[in-house]
């Protein structure tokens, strides 16, 4: 979601002063920042980050008003209110510098088209020269605890328990009123406000307050630590029109921050945790949504030593929240509690030599424009200590060394495009954007070129040279896959064009096409797009056109068109525009559709565009490509309009809108595959609540072939249904694949700290009628270790990103600057498998048939064996280490499930090898005896897996049993010529030794499964040793010879080693005799060369036994066949002999003639076909 990058930048104030800034407050658009020190008000600009103006209070006025404490901007940035220590409100007018008065201006080269600009263009790229003018102060006669700005009013809370309402413009007697806190009734909910318990607020005042627009109320923290929410019952704020609710059982509140998009209130507590509350829409009470706190698992040293929460800051897009504590440190969470970053652990608090660093204490912080920066004011002691260190290093201190140069730390962030442009959730790429660059996880475009060369019907685009692909077939099952998206760990970084950036910063929206080869970005005005094929940006050729439009509802790609929802300043109208990628970026080539209301969100589904408007209505448009001109265009037609004003209290609460083919009846409509092509439902994320509007098919249905496409009327939508809560992102796809219907027709949700959820369709098997009690879909939750940013539907993977740190000690020492307290931060691509979580959830719910169908559809994935291992390992760890007995263990069910796949034996042994020995008894009690599994591997000729089971047996059985099974495996490996395995087995047999005790190792104390069902799964899979002995050409008598070897601790080491070597030599001799008996001389030579067998000496000893040839004819035939030698032919000169003049085949020779040929070859000595052992 949000990721820290690089080192923090340090901004130094050009004015040296003994005072240090301790409070920062941004303007409404975050282009200006007000900084407060004790007697100084400074205004900074965002880009470039420079000081614009500073107002220094006189000593006389400072003595009268007191030191500055807090500041607040008027919503239109024309005034600043400053609260002082003695109860005064100082109002400052922010005045412009007049025409052509700028502190900083860009300088263009001669002939640049940017010199001839439209009026007002210069103001947006220059740092303006502002001035501050103080108006008449307002004395509130009590210390001020909180300031809150409304549209026309300024709310001030004082320590005497009053809430003052001041008008920004009229500050006379009519422009001010005070409300006593004791007159506001507080209750647990609005229903019991009149008769229920209420708070005693005598002597209590508001410590912190913030206004929530979408809730139309104030979240407050009282001086006694209680948390509350005050709602005005009318449009005016008066004492008799305020009603308060308070949260029960909380008395340690410290601060508060509200999230307008999700209607959440985050309260900091003295315990170090953050309580996030929501308002119940039915009762009006405060309900705890979730907690933000450090866990002892990840932060064991600091999780309970952070001190009280000091500050909470939501990002401008309301998707993440930053928290800092009294003891220092920064921590970032997503809106529903997924932990992203914390500077209290790992490299942030440790140097490379292992020594600890003190966490940075923060006095104030604020997010910059669009969340690309976090402005942080370090605590006074931190800054003073660093300045003193710098002065100690200097040989000669400057004369004004007592004056400090104030410093601001600016942390840099890159964020996912999903935070502001959720239409990218239906694609399979991760797109991040910083303030001046894009980060992509797409493949190398050179692969696209090489692939296009192989297709004879692929043509290059006449303008940019990119391949002209036909529109992608939504029914195609081909995704970008692993080779493209997981081929490497590096980002593809694209620098945003500086010409567009300097006049339209900050970047507000970013989008990427389905193929991952074209990007588009939109800043303050206009937009620009980029192609990986040409490595070039396309900007508006006419700057006036760029500056006369601003993107409002986002932008998306439809084939090779950019779809933009924008506002036209010339016509003062909202428009939907489509620009062709290959054409020049000009309005003359755009398809423009006028809209009747402001567009807030945009999304694309197949050939349809869905818009969500400010009047809480949803509009569906169809798009059709037209090639009737040299420059292709697109025609847009309104299909349907759906009003949602009954269900949406405020349009700003809608996070995303998605058009999908998901239906709840998918399970029974197997005979209608065209449904995957149709827009069946609308998914609406309303402040974290996922709402589904499904088409109403309850009425009479008309077949498509009976109606013309022009006259076809779209079906209405049913009333909305809530699918899930606490939803941050939604992923779905418009593709279809009959082999992977479970994954492609599912709905994927990201739910913060709750992990992910999948709304999975359930299909009947073999077109059978489903059970009446079986639901058509099921919601399955599962946890993953990364924050999801994209879902690869067919590959069963979640893509994400994570922060990594690099320590740098070059700045270490006494003069270590503040920014060097932090390591260098990078962002790494990451991915995670989720299939085993879904399979497990299905097995838990007794949906084994659905799990089997899903697993079989994914069996071809390269990491499917790893999926099986993960499922066994996770279940084993949970059940075997549980302190309480499990009434219905899942491991036997998982074991039975895995037996349906050929990789069952490998899965079990790999899981066991990666698991602690103490858990093996529990594992094999469920999956079967390891001796039976070993023998099954031998029957299946899977010797490598059998070798792994041999290691299991070595630890669980007595040495005699291990030696017995090792002998079986050794003989089988010799027979199959697995020489590497033979060498390992020789070492293994020598390592077993006979000096070990003939007693089994101590049995680990693990809980046995309460069910013995795990054994019955394998009652037909076991074989006895006597049965397997025949198949591996070894006898039971030979196995028993092993047990007659000297064993026990009393034998001497030398005798034991000799005995083991003798036993191994005997097995090698037996195998050599076996090869020689069968006249397999080639195998005998390989056997000798690979295992270092002394063949010559052994043959000399066996010359009168097995090496003696009794049947020369059979031996000769086998010799020729073994070495692929041709048989000799008859000489031409001797016609009477069968060896003369003729091409007599061996099949025509009699037995006597073959014996005669053999004797001749033996008497002639060396021959060109003589056997040579290699």
pLDDT band for position 423 (cuts 50, 70, 90): confident
pLDDT per residue as tens digits for the range 963-1018: 888 889 988 988 888 889 888 888 888 887 644 444 444 444 334 443 333 333 33
Place of tokens 């002597």: 203
Angstrom CA distances, 32 to 11, 100, 212, 411, 645, stand at 15, 19, 22, 17, 35
pLDDT per residue as tens digits for the range 829-874: 999 999 999 999 999 999 999 999 999 999 999 999 999 999 999 9
The pLDDT value recorded for residue 985 is 87
The pLDDT value recorded for residue 443 is 55
833 CB-near residues (< 8 Å, 6+ apart): 796, 797, 798, 863, 866, 867, 870
Question: Of the segments 21-30, 444-453, 1017-1026, which one has the largest average pLDDT value?
Answer: 21-30
536-538 and 286-292 strand pairing:
unpaired
pLDDT per residue as tens digits for the range 577-614: 999 999 999 999 999 999 999 999 999 998 999 999 99
Q: Over the chain, what is the mean pLDDT?
A: 80
User: How many other CB atoms are there within 10 angstroms of residue 291's CB atom?
Assistant: 13
Q: Averaged over 639-643, what is the pLDDT?
A: 92
| Bridge partner residues of 268 (DSSP) | 255, 274
Q: What is the distance between the alpha carbons of residues 244 and 198, in angstroms, rounded to a whole number?
A: 9
The domain limits of the chain are: 444-479+496-643, 863-1067, 1109-1174
Q: Is the dihedral of CA 584, 585, 588, 593 positive or negative?
A: positive
Contact indicator for 923, 955 with CB cutoff of 8 Å: no
Q: What is the CATH number of domain 444-479+496-643?
A: 2.40.128.630
pLDDT per residue as tens digits for the range 883-925: 888 888 999 999 999 999 999 999 999 999 988 988 999 999 9
Question: What are 244's two structure tokens?
Answer: 């308060």
Length of the chain: 1174
The pLDDT value recorded for residue 212 is 94
Q: What is the distance between the alpha carbons of residues 713 and 693, in angstroms, rounded to a whole number?
A: 17
CA-based end-to-end distance of the chain: 64
Place of tokens 């006898």: 1035
Question: What are 291's two structure tokens?
Answer: 């907690």
pLDDT per residue as tens digits for the range 698-748: 766 555 444 444 445 778 888 899 999 999 999 998 888 788 888 888 999
């Amino acid at each position: 979601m949000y990721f820290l990058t690089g080192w923090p930048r340090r901004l130094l104030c050009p004015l040296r002063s003994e005072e240090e800034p301790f409070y920062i407050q941004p303007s409404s658009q975050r282009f200006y920042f007000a900084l407060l020190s004790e007697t100084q008000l400074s205004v900074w600009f965002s880009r470039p980050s420079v000081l614009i103006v500073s107002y220094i209070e006189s000593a006389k006025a400072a003595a009268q008003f007191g030191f500055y404490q807090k500041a607040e901007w008027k919503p239109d940035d024309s005034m600043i209110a400053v609260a002082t220590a003695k109860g005064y409100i100082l109002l400052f007018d922010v005045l412009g510098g007049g025409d052509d008065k700028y502190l900083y201006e860009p300088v263009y080269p001669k002939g640049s088209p940017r010199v001839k600009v439209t009026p007002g263009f210069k103001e947006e790229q220059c740092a303006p020269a502002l001035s501050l003018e103080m108006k008449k102060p307002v004395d509130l006669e009590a210390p001020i605890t909180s300031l809150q700005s409304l549209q026309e009013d300024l709310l001030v809370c004082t320590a005497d328990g009053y809430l003052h309402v001041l008008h920004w413009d009229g500050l006379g007697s009519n422009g001010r009123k005070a409300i006593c806190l004791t007159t506001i009734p507080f209750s647990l909910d609005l229903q019991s406000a009149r008769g229920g318990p209420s708070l005693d607020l005598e002597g209590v005042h508001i410590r912190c307050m913030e206004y929530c627009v979408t809730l139309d109320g104030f979240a407050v923290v009282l001086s006694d630590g209680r948390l509350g929410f005050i709602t005005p019952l009318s449009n005016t704020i008066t004492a008799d029109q305020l009603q308060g609710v308070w949260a029960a059982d909380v008395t340690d509140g410290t601060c508060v921050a509200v999230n307008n998009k999700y209607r959440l209130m985050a309260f900091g507590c003295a315990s170090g945790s953050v309580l996030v509350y929501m308002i119940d829409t039915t009762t009006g009470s405060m309900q705890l949504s979730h907690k933000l706190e450090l866990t002892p698992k990840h932060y064991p040293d600091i999780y309970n030593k952070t001190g009280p929460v000091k500050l909470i800051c939501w990002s401008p897009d309301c998707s993440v929240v930053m928290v800092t504590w009294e003891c220092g440190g920064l921590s970032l969470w997503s809106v529903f509690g997924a932990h992203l970053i914390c500077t209290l652990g790992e490299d942030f608090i440790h140097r490379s030599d292992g020594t600890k660093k003190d966490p940075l204490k923060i006095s104030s912080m604020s997010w910059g424009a669009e969340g690309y920066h976090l402005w942080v004011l370090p605590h006074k002691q931190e800054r003073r200590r660093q300045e003193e260190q710098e002065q100690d290093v200097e040989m000669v201190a400057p004369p004004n060394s007592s004056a400090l140069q104030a410093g601001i730390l600016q942390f840099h962030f890159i964020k996912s495009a999903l935070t502001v442009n959720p239409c990218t959730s239906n694609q399979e790429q991760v797109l991040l954007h910083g303030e001046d660059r894009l980060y992509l996880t797409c493949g190398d475009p050179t692969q696209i070129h090489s692939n296009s060369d192989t297709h004879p019907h692929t043509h290059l685009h006449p303008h940019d040279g990119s391949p002209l692909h036909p529109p992608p077939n939504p029914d195609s099952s081909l995704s970008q896959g692993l080779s493209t998206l997981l081929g490497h760990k590096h980002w593809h970084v694209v620098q945003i064009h500086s010409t567009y950036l300097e006049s339209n910063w900050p970047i507000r929206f970013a989008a990427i096409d389905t193929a991952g080869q074209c990007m588009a970005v939109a800043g303050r005005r206009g937009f620009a797009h980029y192609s990986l094929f040409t490595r070039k940006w396309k900007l508006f050729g006419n700057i006036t056109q760029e500056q006369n439009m601003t993107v409002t509802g986002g932008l998306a790609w439809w084939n090779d068109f950019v779809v933009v929802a924008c506002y036209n300043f010339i016509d003062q109208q909202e428009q939907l525009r489509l620009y062709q990628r290959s054409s020049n970026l000009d309005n003359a080539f755009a398809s423009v559709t006028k809209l009747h209301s402001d567009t807030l969100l945009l999304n694309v589904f197949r050939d349809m565009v869905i818009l969500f408007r400010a009047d809480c209505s949803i509009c569906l448009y169809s798009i059709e490509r037209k090639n009737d001109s040299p420059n292709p265009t697109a025609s847009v037609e309104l299909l349907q309009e759906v009003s949602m004003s009954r269900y949406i209290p405020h349009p700003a609460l809608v996070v995303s809108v998605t058009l999908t083919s998901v239906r709840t009846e998918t399970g029974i409509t197997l005979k209608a595959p065209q449904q995957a092509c149709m827009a069946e439902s609308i998914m609406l994320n309303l402040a974290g609540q996922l709402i589904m509007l499904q088409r109403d098919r309850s009425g009479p249905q008309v077949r498509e072939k009976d109606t013309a496409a022009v006259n076809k009327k779209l079906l209405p939508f049913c009333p909305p249904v809530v699918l899930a809560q606490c939803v941050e992102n939604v992923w779905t796809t418009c593709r279809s694949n009959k082999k992977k219907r479970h994954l492609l027709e599912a709905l994927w949700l990201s739910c913060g700290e709750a992990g992910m959820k999948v709304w999975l369709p359930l299909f009947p098997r073999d077109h059978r009628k489903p059970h009446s009690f079986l639901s058509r879909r099921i919601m399955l939750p599962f946890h993953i270790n990364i924050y999801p940013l994209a879902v690869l539907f067919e590959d069963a993977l979640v893509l994400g990103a994570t922060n990594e740190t690099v320590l740098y000690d070059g700045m270490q020492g006494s003069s270590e600057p503040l920014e060097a307290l932090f390591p260098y931060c990078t962002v790494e691509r990451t991915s995670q498998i989720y299939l085993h979580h879904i399979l497990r959830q299905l097995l838990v719910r007794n949906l084994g048939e659905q799990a089997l169908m899903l697993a079989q559809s994914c069996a071809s994935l390269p990491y499917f064996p790893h999926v099986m291992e993960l499922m066994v390992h996770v279940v084993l760890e949970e059940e075997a280490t549980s302190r309480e007995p499990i009434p219905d263990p899942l491991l036997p069910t998982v074991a039975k499930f895995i037996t349906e796949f050929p990789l069952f034996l490998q899965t079990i042994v790999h899981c066991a090898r990666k698991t602690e020995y103490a858990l093996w008894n529990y594992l094999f009690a469920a999956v079967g005896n390891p001796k039976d599994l070993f023998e099954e591997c031998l029957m299946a000729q899977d010797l490598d897996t059998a070798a792994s089971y041999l290691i299991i047996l070595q630890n669980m059985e007595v040495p005699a049993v291990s030696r017995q099974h090792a002998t079986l495996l050794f003989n089988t490996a010799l027979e199959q010529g697995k020489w590497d395995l033979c060498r390992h087995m020789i070492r293994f047999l020598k390592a077993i030794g006979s000096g070990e005790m003939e007693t089994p190792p101590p049995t680990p104390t693990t809980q046995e499964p309460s069910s013995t069902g795990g054994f019955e799964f394998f009652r037909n899979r076991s074989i006895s040793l006597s049965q397997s002995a025949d198949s591996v050409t070894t006898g039971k008598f030979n196995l028993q010879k092993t047990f007659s070897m000297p064993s026990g601790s009393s034998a001497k080491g030398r005798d034991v080693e000799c005995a083991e070597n003798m036993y191994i030599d005997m097995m090698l001799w037996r195998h050599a005799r076996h090869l020689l008996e069968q006249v397999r001389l080639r195998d005998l030579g390989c056997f000798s060369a690979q295992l270092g067998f002394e063949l010559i000496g052994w043959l000399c000893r066996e010359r009168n036994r097995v090496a003696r040839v009794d049947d020369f004819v059979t031996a000769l035939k086998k010799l020729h066949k073994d070495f692929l030698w041709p048989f000799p032919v008859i000489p031409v000169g001797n016609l009477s002999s069968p060896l003369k003049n003729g091409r007599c085949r061996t099949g025509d020779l009699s037995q006597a003639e073959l014996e005669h040929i053999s004797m001749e070859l033996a008497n002639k000595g060396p021959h060109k076909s003589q056997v040579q052992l290699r």
